Amino acid sequence: MAITLIINGAEHGVTAETETPLLYVLRNELKLKGTRFGCGRGQCGACTVLVDGKAVQSCDFPVSAAAGKSITTIEGIATDGRLHPLQQAFIAEQAAQCGYCVSGIIMAAKALLDAKPRASECEIRAALKGNLCRCGTHHRILRAIRRAAEEMNR
């Protein structure tokens, strides 16, 4: 089936079965490798992208449900060659070790901060409930998100 997707502001025509996970189309058809495959069951958050501004796990989100919606991946949040404040804060706080989960965490945090720019610590933690990180940098991740929020609210 031919499907039109709007990814990072650009329209893309793809051919895929309606139930194909959005993640597969992003990575395999469009070569957007920043979104990671983790569990394949929507439980780890490595594949988080924004669909119409909401964080979704793309591994269990059918591509047909994304048709005509605005999809944002980690590749699409930098502007004019400058990293997004969340990306900058993750670097500054050394919030990533292996980096596998980071794109999903950044996207979940972006959805939260776009909706609630002055999110509390509890709200940040709640927004990241669906994102697993095994490296143990949770405190750095929280610091990075708070730092980005401060920067974005200036």
Contact by Cβ (8 Å): 6, 50: no
Instruction: Give the model's pLDDT for residue 134.
Output: 85
Task: List the CATH number of the domain containing 108.
Answer: 1.10.150.120
Domain of residue 134 covers 85-152
Asked if 89 and 139 sit in the same domain, the reply is yes
Per residue in 9-18, pLDDT (tens digit) is 999 999 999 9
Instruction: Give the model's pLDDT for residue 62.
Output: 98
Q: How confident is residue 98, by pLDDT bands cut at 50, 70 and 90? A: confident
pTM for this model (two decimals): 0.95
Asked if 107 and 135 sit in the same domain, the reply is yes
Per residue in 104-143, pLDDT (tens digit) is 999 999 999 999 999 999 999 999 999 998 888 899 999 9
Per residue in 36-55, pLDDT (tens digit) is 999 999 999 999 999 999 99
Rounded to the nearest 10°, the torsion over CA 66, 27, 116, 114 is: -80
Q: Write down which residue in 32, 54, 76 finishes a domain.
A: 76
Asked if 112 and 148 sit in the same domain, the reply is yes
Q: What is the mean pLDDT of the chain?
A: 96
Asked if 63 and 6 sit in the same domain, the reply is yes
Asked if 103 and 71 sit in the same domain, the reply is no
